[in-house]
């Protein structure tokens, strides 16, 4: 699965295309499979294999649809009342938010491969929270501050050693 919530895959052999499943959460034809949907600049024969694991089961947050890491529709965090600092960070992040009194907020933190690395519930009784980065390797990360009623805001951070 890519950071845009689409599934990309090779059809074996030496090919110059990825097939794309545009809406993997939808059943049947509604998922919109596109063969040869993403052309590659070189043949894939010498690249790493891509064998999907079909036995993964539901994601950690059943009922929560895939939230894209990169989204043209999400408001930049600074415009939507969210500040995440320091950036770059080393040990901790401070999240300041003023998003109203929705019942539940979550911070989802993704690594550069689009893998969910942390889910942090944010209290609506406070306007800031410290988040430990212990155990995360240095690199680029994307975050989404998500609430069930009004959508999400996103941004990126760098974690340095």
C-beta of residue 109 within 8 angstroms of C-beta of residue 118: yes
Q: Mean pLDDT across the stretch 128-141?
A: 89
Domains of the chain: 1-58 (no CATH), 75-159 (2.60.40.3080)
pLDDT bin (cut points 50, 70, 90) of residue 71 is very low
The predicted structure's pLDDT at residue 67: 55
Q: How confident is the model at residue 72 (pLDDT cuts 50, 70, 90)?
A: very low
Q: 40-54, 107-121, 122-136: lowest mean pLDDT where?
A: 40-54
0.85 exceeded by pTM: no
Residue with the bigger pLDDT between 7 and 77: it is: 7
In this predicted structure, what is the pLDDT of residue 73? Answer: 43
**Tokens 């895959």 belong to residue:** 9
**What is the model's pLDDT at position 36?**
84
SS3 track for the chain? CCCCCCEEECCCCCCCEEEEECCCCCCHHHHCEEEEEEECCCCCCCCCCCCCCCCCCCCCCCCCCCCCCCCCCCEEHHHHCEEEECCCECCEEEEEECCCCCCCEEEEEECCCCCEEEEEEECCCCCEEEEECCCCCCEEEEEEEEECCCEEEEEEEEECC
> Taking residues 63-92, what's their average pLDDT?
64
């Amino acid at each position: 699965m890519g950071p845009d919530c689409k599934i990309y895959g090779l059809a074996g052999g030496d090919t110059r295309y990825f097939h794309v499943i545009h809406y993997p959460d939808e059943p049947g034809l509604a998922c919109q499979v596109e063969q040869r949907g993403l052309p590659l600049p070189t043949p894939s024969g010498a690249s790493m294999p891509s064998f999907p694991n079909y036995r993964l089961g539901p994601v950690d947050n059943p009922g929560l649809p895939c939230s894209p890491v990169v989204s043209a529709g999400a408001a930049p965090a600074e415009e939507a009342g969210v500040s995440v600092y320091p950036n770059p960070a080393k040990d901790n992040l401070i999240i300041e938010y003023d998003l109203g009194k929705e019942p539940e907020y979550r911070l989802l933190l993704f690594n550069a491969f689009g893998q969910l690395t942390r889910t942090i519930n944010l209290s609506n009784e406070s306007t800031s929270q410290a988040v430990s980065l212990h155990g995360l390797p240095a690199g680029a990360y994307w975050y989404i501050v998500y609430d069930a009623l009004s959508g999400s805001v996103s941004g990126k951070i760098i974690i340095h050693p």
